[in-house]
Amino acid sequence: MTIWWVMLAGGLVTFLIRYSFIAAEGSYQPAEWFRRLLPLVPISALTALVIPDLLLVNGALTLSGANFQLLAGLVAILVASIWRNTLLTIGAGFAALFFPPVREINALMALLEDRRRQGYFCGAWRDGAQAAQLIRDQTVAVQSMWSPVYGQLGQQPCNFVEAAPAEGYRAWHGGASLSRHLGGAELDMAYEYLNWWLSGYAGSVMARQGYYISTPERSQTYMAPQEWAYWYDGAPAAQDLQGPAGDWIVRAGARRAGGTYQERSSRIAIWNTVMDEYNYAARAWERFIRRVHDGRIPEDGAA
């Protein structure tokens, strides 16, 4: 019952405050300076309510692109100053605020920057050699890595394990397409190239790097039984296995995390795609990576 008494008392106090102005009508005449200030009350109240939401993110002053409320507010201010239309201003502000891709990108980058400042990231890699070096230097506890990098680590794999995320895999698929402008001999050569990719040999080379191809049954004829058993059937390696360059990349007895080709494929949670806002996301990512490398904390207002 305590909460109900609090609610009742709060409502009564609020009512009396507002009713006092009505009850005093005609019996009290405020000073002239006070009456001149009254028109400013709504503006002051709205400013006090709006400004913190525009400028603060998680309680911190944020004047960068990571503050999507501020961006939406600037859009609304611009629309209001040009058209002076209330509904158009509200609509433009909400459209900017809830434009999902940009908002999600900004929110993600704000989260990553917060984690960076807390020391979650010790480095970033741009190619397989850099990824392998982070492992050799023992500077990382968890990191992403392209599959062929495992073969560059020599005996190092005994110090870490490949994870099979409980949430599922993030996957990508690449394909070749023919230009509609091709014709004649050029078109014939293009088809020969596509057919070579699907013939099986190329798929076997990809398999020895840990990748799959859309026609695995053709690749099997170019792979030794022990290679197929390890890469596709998820079985322990019956012997040391070579990579595409001839170096030994899999030790006897090793087993690939995630199981068989079918098991791994059935647990894909999300496919990589190129979004319309790819350039925006790529620039935001590049700025973040530079801060990871040089340890810089951006000043407020820096994008």
Q: What is the pLDDT of residues 185-197, one digit of tens each?
A: 999 999 999 999 9
**Cβ neighbours of residue 244 under 8 Å, at least 6 residues apart?**
205, 208, 209
Cα separation, 288 vs 280, in Å, equals: 13
User: Total structural domains in the chain?
Assistant: 1
Question: What pLDDT digit, counting tens, does each position of 171-219 carry?
Answer: 988 888 899 999 999 999 999 999 999 999 999 999 999 999 989 999 9
Within-domain flag for 181: no
Q: Which residue has the higher pLDDT, 148 or 112?
A: 112
Note down the domain range covering 154: 118-174+211-272
Q: Is 74 contained in some domain?
A: no
In a domain, 52, yes or no: no
Output the pLDDT for position 303.
34
- Taking alpha carbons only, the member of 105, 45, 93 closest to residue 69 is 93
**Confidence at residue 299, expressed as pLDDT on a 0 to 100 scale:** 45
Q: Has this prediction a pTM greater than 0.75?
A: no
pLDDT digits (tens, 9 = 90+) for 48-95: 999 998 898 767 888 876 687 888 899 999 999 999 999 999 999 888
Residue 300 has pLDDT above 70, yes or no: no
93 with 75: CB under 8 angstroms? yes
- Report the 10 Å Cβ neighbour count for 76: 22
Residue 148 lies in a domain: yes
According to the model, what pLDDT value does residue 157 have? 54
